[in-house]
C-alpha cells in the first residue's frame, strides 16, 4: 500500500501549489485568494522508487463551529485521521500567527508523525525564516518553496524515510463518471449518497464546490472514479476569475469521464442552461444519464409538469435514461447506478464488422438513401471506428451527399439493434474515388505510353543467316 501524506495549514499558505508540485500536475486550483480549496483532493506522487498518495486540504480554521469554514475543517480533520503522515505548512513571509499555534496544538493530538514545512522562503535566509517556528514544538522546521521547488524533494525524502518501498499499483482502466449540472442542484449530495459517506462538502449555498474532485471507490467487485464538479452558470453571470477556472475544470472533467450524470433540480424550471450543459456532454461524445433531483417533495401535478417540460426542452437526449431521485433521502440511487453501468457498457462496446454490415444492408433495403441528382449513394459495408462514443464508419460510393435525416435513421437503427442505450452514436462516411470523375481524373498525372518495341509480344524479331546489304 502507498503511504498517504496530508497537507495541512491555514488558508493561503501554498498547500495547493505544493500539491501540484508533488503530483507534477495542475489538478488543484491555485490563486492568491484564501479559502480557494474546500474539499479533499487526492493525487499520486513519487520520490525515487517510493510512490505515495498526497491529499490537498482546505484552509484549516479549527475554532469555527458553523458554516462553510466548519465543513472545511471537518474535511481536513478527516484527511488527517486517514493519513500516514502530515505535512504542516506555515508561511515564512508572514511569520508565526496565533492560528498556526492553534493548528499545531490540534495536530499534536493525532497519532501520525507531523512534519513542519516553512513555505514561501525563496530569497530568504533559511535560518532566519525557520527561527520563530521552533516555538511550535514540532521539531526541526524544513524550509521550502513550493512555487520554485526548493527543498521539496528533501522534505519528501524525510517524510517517506520511515515507510518501506511499495510496489507500484496497476492503474487499469475503469469506469469514470462526472456529476454535472447547474449550481446548487444537489451534485455533492448525490456524490455523498453514492459513496455512502460525507466525502465532499454539501452545503446549501451555490458555488460550494470550486474544483473537480476525483474520488476512487469500489462497488461490488468493480472500481469506479466519480468526479464531483463545480456548478456551471450562464456565461453572462460568470464574472470572477476563480469561477471561470472552475467552469474550465468542469469541462475538462466531462472530457475525461466516460459517463456524464446530468443533475436537474425538479423544484426549478428546466432552463436553457441545463440544455447547454447537456449539449456540451453530447458534443464531447460522452454517455449520459439524467438524474432529476429533489423529487420527493413534489405533488402529482408538479411532477407531470416537470416531465412535460423535460420532454419538450431536452428532446435531443432521447437516447439517455431519466431517473427521478432524492439524493438527500437516498431514493433511486441503486437504479441510477445501474443505468450508469449500462451507459458505460454501451459507450465502450465492441461491434463486429460482419454484424454491422448485415444491419446496414437491412436498413438500406428497408429505406434506401435518397437520390442526389442522377446519382444514388451506394453503401457497401460498415465497421467500427472508435469507442466512447461508438463510431460506425460506412464505406461506399457517392456518400458525401447523405442527408442528416438519413444519418439519424441509421443511428436509430444501429442503436436499436445493438441496444446502445445511454450513449450517443456517430455515423461517418467514407466514399471511394470515382474513376470517371473528370475533375479528379484531370488532377492525376497521366502515365506515359510504353514504346511500341517494348510492348509485350512486340519484341524486335531475331534474324538468322546473312543480312542483306
463 is annotated as contributing to ligand binding: no
Report whether 121 belongs to an annotated binding site. Answer: yes
Q: What is the dihedral of CA 69, 71, 75, 78, to 10 degrees?
A: 120
Is 386 annotated to bind a ligand? Reply is no
Does 122 appear as a known binding residue? yes
**Neighbour-count burial of 102, counting CB atoms closer than 10 A to its CB (0-12 exposed, 13-18 middle, 19+ buried):** middle
341 is in an annotated binding site: no
Question: Is 315 known to sit in a ligand binding site?
Answer: no
Q: Is 434 annotated among the ligand-binding residues?
A: no
Task: Find out whether 258 is annotated in a ligand binding site.
Answer: no
119 assigned binding-site residue: yes
Check the annotation: does 232 bind a ligand: yes
* CA separation for the pair 292, 274 (Å, rounded): 11
- Does 182 carry a binding-site annotation? yes
CB atoms within 10 A of CB 310: 19
Residue 10 annotated as lining a ligand binding site? yes
Strand order in the sheet with 85-91: 41-47, 50-56, 4-8, 85-91, 114-119, 142-143
443 among the known binding-site residues? no
* CA distances to 3, 133, 146 from 46, in Å: 11, 28, 16
9 labeled binding residue? yes
Annotated binding residue at 93? no
Distance of alpha carbon 332 from alpha carbon 326, whole angstroms: 7
Residue 462 among known ligand-binding residues: no
The answer to whether the annotation marks 445 as part of a ligand binding site is: no
Q: Is 424 annotated as a binding residue?
A: no
Please answer whether residues 48 and 157 qualify as being in contact, where contact means their C-beta atoms are separated by less than 8 angstroms.
Answer: yes
**458 annotated as a binding-site residue:** no
**Is residue 57 annotated as involved in ligand binding?**
yes
Q: Is 14 annotated as a binding residue?
A: yes
Q: Known binder of ligand: residue 228?
A: yes
229 assigned ligand-binding residue: yes
250 is in an annotated binding site: no
| Residue 188 assigned to a binding site | yes
* Residue 301, marked binder: no
Q: Tell me the β-bridge partners of 178.
A: 227, 260
185 annotated to a ligand binding site: yes
208 marked as binding residue? no
Is 286 labelled as part of a ligand binding site?
no
Is 120 marked as binding a ligand?
A: yes
Is 20 annotated as belonging to a binding site?
no
Any binding-site annotation on 236? no
Binding site, annotated residues: 9-16, 56-60, 119-122, 181-188, 228-232, 293-296
Binding site, annotated residues for GTP: 9-16, 56-60, 119-122, 181-188, 228-232, 293-296
Amino acid at each position: 500500500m502507498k503511504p498517504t501524506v496530508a497537507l495541512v495549514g491555514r488558508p493561503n499558505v501554498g498547500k495547493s501549489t505544493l500539491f501540484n508540485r508533488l503530483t507534477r500536475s495542475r489538478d488543484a486550483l491555485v490563486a492568491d485568494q484564501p479559502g480557494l480549496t474546500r474539499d479533499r483532493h487526492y493525487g499520486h506522487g513519487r520520490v525515487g522508487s517510493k510512490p505515495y498518495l498526497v491529499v490537498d486540504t482546505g484552509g484549516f480554521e479549527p475554532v469555527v463551529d458553523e458554516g462553510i469554514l466548519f465543513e472545511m475543517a471537518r474535511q481536513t480533520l478527516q484527511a488527517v485521521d486517514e493519513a500516514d503522515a502530515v505535512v504542516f505548512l506555515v508561511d515564512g513571509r508572514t511569520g508565526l500567527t496565533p492560528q498556526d499555534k492553534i493548528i499545531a496544538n490540534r495536530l499534536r493530538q493525532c497519532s501520525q508523525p507531523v512534519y513542519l514545512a516553512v513555505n514561501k522562503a525563496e530569497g530568504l535566509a533559511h535560518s532566519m525564516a525557520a527561527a520563530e517556528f521552533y516555538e511550535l514544538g514540532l521539531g526541526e522546521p524544513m524550509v521550502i518553496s513550493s512555487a520554485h521547488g526548493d527543498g521539496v524533494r528533501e522534505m519528501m525524502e524525510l517524510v517517506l524515510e520511515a515507510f518501506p518501498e511499495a510496489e507500484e499499483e496497476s492503474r487499469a482502466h475503469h469506469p469514470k463518471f462526472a456529476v454535472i449540472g447547474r449550481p446548487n442542484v444537489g451534485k455533492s449530495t448525490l456524490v455523498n449518497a453514492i459513496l455512502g459517506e460525507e466525502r465532499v462538502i454539501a452545503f446549501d449555498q451555490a458555488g460550494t464546490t470550486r474544483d473537480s474532485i476525483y474520488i476512487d471507490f469500489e462497488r461490488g467487485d468493480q472500481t469506479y472514479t466519480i468526479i464531483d464538479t463545480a456548478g456551471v452558470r450562464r456565461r453572462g453571470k460568470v464574472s470572477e476569475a476563480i469561477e471561470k477556472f472552475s467552469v474550465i475544470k468542469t469541462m475538462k472533467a466531462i472530457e475525461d469521464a466516460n459517463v456524464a450524470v446530468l443533475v436537474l433540480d425538479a423544484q426549478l424550471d428546466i432552463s436553457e442552461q441545463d440544455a447547454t450543459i447537456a449539449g456540451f456532454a453530447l458534443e464531447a461524445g460522452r454517455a449520459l444519464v439524467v438524474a432529476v433531483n429533489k423529487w420527493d417533495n413534489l405533488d402529482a401535478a408538479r411532477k407531470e409538469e416537470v416531465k412535460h417540460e423535460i420532454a419538450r426542452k431536452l428532446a435531443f437526449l432521447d437516447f439517455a435514461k431519466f431517473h427521478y431521485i432524492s439524493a438527500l433521502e437516498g431514493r433511486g440511487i441503486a437504479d441510477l447506478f445501474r443505468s450508469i453501468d449500462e451507459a458505460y457498457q454501451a459507450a465502450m462496446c465492441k461491434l463486429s464488422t460482419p454484424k454491422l454490415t448485415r444491419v446496414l444492408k437491412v436498413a438500406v433495403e428497408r429505406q434506401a438513401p435518397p437520390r442526389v441528382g442522377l446519382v444514388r449513394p451506394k453503401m457497401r459495408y460498415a465497421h467500427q471506428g472508435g469507442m466512447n462514443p461508438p463510431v460506425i464508419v460506412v464505406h461506399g460510393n457517392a456518400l458525401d451527399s447523405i442527408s442528416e435525416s438519413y444519418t439519424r435513421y441509421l443511428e436509430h437503427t444501429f442503436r436499436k439493434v445493438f441496444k446502445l442505450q445511454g450513449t450517443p452514436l456517430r455515423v461517418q462516411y467514407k466514399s471511394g474515388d470515382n474513376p470517371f470523375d473528370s475533375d479528379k481524373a484531370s488532377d492525376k498525372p497521366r502515365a506515359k505510353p510504353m514504346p511500341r518495341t517494348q510492348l509485350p509480344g512486340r519484341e524486335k524479331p531475331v534474324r538468322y543467316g546473312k543480312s542483306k546489304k
